[in-house]
Amino acid sequence: MFGLFRRKTRLEKLQCRYTWLMRRSYMMALKDKEKSVELHRQAEQLLKEIEFLSISYGDK
């Protein structure tokens, strides 16, 4: 309840985006393999950025 109006950090936003891309990639794999691969590539780039930021923040 108290975290209702708390702003998300950049790291939290990237993690949500990563999760969304991975789910979308999985769903697209059933229909269009090329699109799925592209979404997975984008998710991998986000994961690298997430890892870099988590190291920078020191997992605070």
Task: Convert the pLDDT of each residue in 10-40 to its tens digit.
Answer: 999 999 999 999 999 999 999 999 999 999 9
pTM for the whole thing?
A: 0.83
Give long-range contacts, CB 8 A cutoff, 24+ apart: 5-12.
10/53, 11/50, 11/53, 11/54, 11/57
Label residue 59 by pLDDT band (50, 70, 90): low
Strands (E), the chain: none
Tokens at 23, concatenated: 């789910």
Label residue 57 by pLDDT band (50, 70, 90): confident
